């Protein structure tokens, strides 16, 4: 299977290369794959655990590689981001006929507990066909695939109508200061950028076969709230009406009973229509028109029983933090609860807050916003980049389709979307779900050597097709 698909790809490349004019040099994909492998191993050896990050070392490493290839690169924002931290920026120039494409990854990784790993998480070990290390999936592997695709474009001399920008950000895993500082200080570097690709969607791979490639066009927005009730502190042996705890509990109960309205956004509508083919009747019909299905009690119950789909279709509220007295015999002077509210991209946060206050119906319960929502992210689908991804996907996996699930967690994408850039989450790898589940932020994170080579070439084709 592997050998057959590889020879088909070689033939396709020869065909395409001949159409691109005499200057285009053929690429030795096996050699490029080996080169990518050792660079990823080297990248994983640079410990960018956040905190503290130390992304400056990673930025220097990437800058060195880019400069050897004759691609201009800069280390930015060192003063703003603090000691040993930085953002990296590089640009490969096209003829300027169209607007640019940015490839963005974050250079930091989450902490690893070495005793829980079967290899040293910062050894960059290559064994059993995998490159092992913290960040292999999230997201140094993608960072190297983007980098090598860019280098392959440069070396082969593919004519570019769009500049290709390459960005490495610091601090995505903690407070996203890298992306925010970059966008605030260097909006000029992004002025001509039309499209941006970073993380934010997982492909579905079953039994080694890709069912679909996911392009993340939308994500939920965090709108965390703290509810506070003030009272009068006293002794628990003599109950009073000024105990803030029962009042807070009553408010929380009302919120827990409140059902947020269902609402179908464009990317989610497409997602359900796309995956409908995977289901038997009557589910297939339900998913083909999810708006209609939500009016059918049986269909609605089935759709909302999936925790992901439920979150795709409404604002969600999880009651999470609670604080009252820390002594059983003391009535506290104040009681608070933190609730995790997540909004669909097109929701008006102040309206949602007013609704929540009305649901609680008690002016003694004060709401304060702990985390304001970021810029709404719902990128358009009818674009050259989306079509390029679809074409490159069809080349290698003719039976798979490209679809647009909602991201329920938060990424750096809204930060870039704020500048008007069409921003997609996309992974060029075919990683089985259990491997993502186990490795990402977990133990024994690893990326197969085959996947890395596959991803480099996937990005290369996307960039080529999007010209
Ligand atoms: Zn990540």
Residue 236 CA, ligand 1 centroid: distance in Å: 47
Q: Is 193 within 8 Å of 99 (Cβ atoms)? A: yes
Residue 144 CA, ligand 1 centroid: distance in Å: 14
Residue 172 CA, ligand 1 centroid: distance in Å: 7
Q: Could you say which residues of the chain have pLDDT below 70? A: 1-23
Q: What is the pLDDT of residue 438?
A: 82
DSSP sequence for 315-352 = -EEEEEEEE--SSTTEE-SEEEEEEEEEE-TT--HHHH
Q: Name beta bridge partners: 43.
A: none
Q: What is the pLDDT of residue 371?
A: 86
Residue 179 CA, ligand 1 centroid: distance in Å: 12
Q: What is the pLDDT of residue 14?
A: 43
Residue 173 CA, ligand 1 centroid: distance in Å: 7
Q: What is the pLDDT of residue 322?
A: 97
Q: Is 121 within 8 Å of 114 (Cβ atoms)? A: yes
Residue 275 CA, ligand 1 centroid: distance in Å: 25
Q: What is the pLDDT of residue 19?
A: 44
Q: Name beta bridge partners: 161.
A: none
Distance of CA 266 to CAs 90, 346, 378, 380, Å?
33, 10, 8, 9
Q: What is the pLDDT of residue 436?
A: 84
Q: What is the pLDDT of residue 319?
A: 97
Peptide bond into 52 cis (omega under 30): yes
Residue 198 CA, ligand 1 centroid: distance in Å: 9
Residue 199 CA, ligand 1 centroid: distance in Å: 6
Helix/strand/coil (H/E/C) assignment for every residue in 120-167: CCCCCCEECCEEECCCCCCCHHHHHHHHHHHHHHHHHCCCCCCCEEEE
Residue 124 CA, ligand 1 centroid: distance in Å: 18
Q: What is the pLDDT of residue 375?
A: 87
Among all chains, which residue has been given the structure tokens 């030795």?
28
Residue 259 CA, ligand 1 centroid: distance in Å: 31
Residue 192 CA, ligand 1 centroid: distance in Å: 25
* 105-159 tens-digit pLDDT: 999 999 999 999 999 999 999 999 999 999 999 999 999 999 999 999 999 999 9
Residue 9 CA, ligand 1 centroid: distance in Å: 30
Residue 151 CA, ligand 1 centroid: distance in Å: 23
Residue 325 CA, ligand 1 centroid: distance in Å: 38
Q: What is the pLDDT of residue 262?
A: 98
Give the environment of ion ligand 1: residues with CB less than 5 A.
138-139, 199
Q: What is the pLDDT of residue 17?
A: 42
Residue 415 CA, ligand 1 centroid: distance in Å: 15
Residue 129 CA, ligand 1 centroid: distance in Å: 23
In angstroms, how far is CA 277 from the centroid of its own chain?
26
* 39-55 tens-digit pLDDT: 999 999 999 999 999 99
Q: What is the pLDDT of residue 282?
A: 98
- Our CA angle for 221, 393, 200, nearest 5°, is 20
């Amino acid at each position: 299977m592997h050998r057959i698909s590889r020879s088909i790809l070689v033939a396709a490349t020869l065909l395409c290369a001949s159409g691109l004019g005499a200057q285009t040099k053929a690429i030795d994909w096996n050699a490029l794959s080996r080169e990518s492998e050792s660079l990823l191993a080297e990248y994983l050896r640079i410990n960018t655990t956040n905190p503290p990050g130390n992304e400056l070392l990673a930025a220097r490493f990437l800058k060195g590689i880019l400069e050897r290839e004759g691609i201009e690169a800069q280390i930015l924002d060192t003063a703003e981001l603090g000691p040993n931290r930085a953002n990296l920026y590089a640009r490969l120039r096209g003829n300027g006929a169209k607007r640019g494409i940015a490839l963005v990854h974050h250079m930091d990784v989450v902490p690893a507990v070495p005793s829980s790993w079967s290899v040293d998480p910062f050894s960059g070990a290559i064994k059993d066909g995998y490159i092992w290390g913290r960040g292999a999936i999230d997201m140094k592997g993608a960072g190297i695939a983007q980098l090598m695709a860019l280098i392959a474009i440069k070396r082969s001399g593919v004519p570019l109508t769009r500049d290709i920008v390459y960005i490495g950000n610091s601090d995505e895993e903690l407070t996203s200061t890298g992306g925010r500082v970059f966008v605030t200080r260097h909006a000029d570097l992004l002025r001509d950028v039309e499209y941006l690709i970073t993380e934010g969607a997982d492909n579905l791979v079953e039994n080694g076969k890709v069912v679909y490639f996911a392009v993340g066009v939308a994500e939920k927005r965090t709108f965390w709230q703290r509810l506070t009730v003030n009272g009068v502190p006293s002794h628990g042996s003599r109950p009073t009406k000024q105990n803030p705890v029962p009042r807070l509990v009553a408010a929380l109960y009302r919120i827990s009973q409140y059902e947020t309205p269902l609402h179908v956004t464009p990317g989610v509508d497409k997602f359900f229509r796309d995956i409908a083919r995977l289901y038997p009747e009557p589910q297939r019909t339900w998913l083909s028109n999810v708006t209609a299905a939500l009016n059918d009690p049986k269909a609605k119950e089935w759709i909302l029983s999936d925790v992901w789909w439920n979150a795709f279709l409404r604002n969600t509220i999880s009651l999470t933090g609670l604080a009252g007295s820390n002594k059983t015999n003391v009535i506290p002077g104040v009681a608070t609860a933190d609730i995790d509210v997540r909004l669909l991209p097109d929701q008006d946060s102040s309206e949602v807050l007013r609704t929540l206050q009305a649901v609680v119906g008690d002016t003694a319960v004060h709401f304060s916003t702990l985390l304001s929502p970021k810029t709404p992210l719902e990128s358009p689908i009818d674009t050259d980049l989306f079509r390029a991804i679809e074409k490159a996907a069809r080349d290698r996996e003719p039976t798979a389709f490209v679809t647009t699930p909602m991201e329920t967690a938060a990424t750096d994408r809204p930060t870039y979307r704020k500048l008007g850039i069409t921003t997609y989450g996309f992974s060029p790898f075919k990683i089985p779900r259990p491997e993502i589940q186990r490795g990402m932020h977990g133990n024994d994170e690893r990326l197969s050597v085959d996947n890395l080579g596959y991803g480099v070439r996937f990005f290369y084709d996307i960039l080529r097709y999007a010209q």
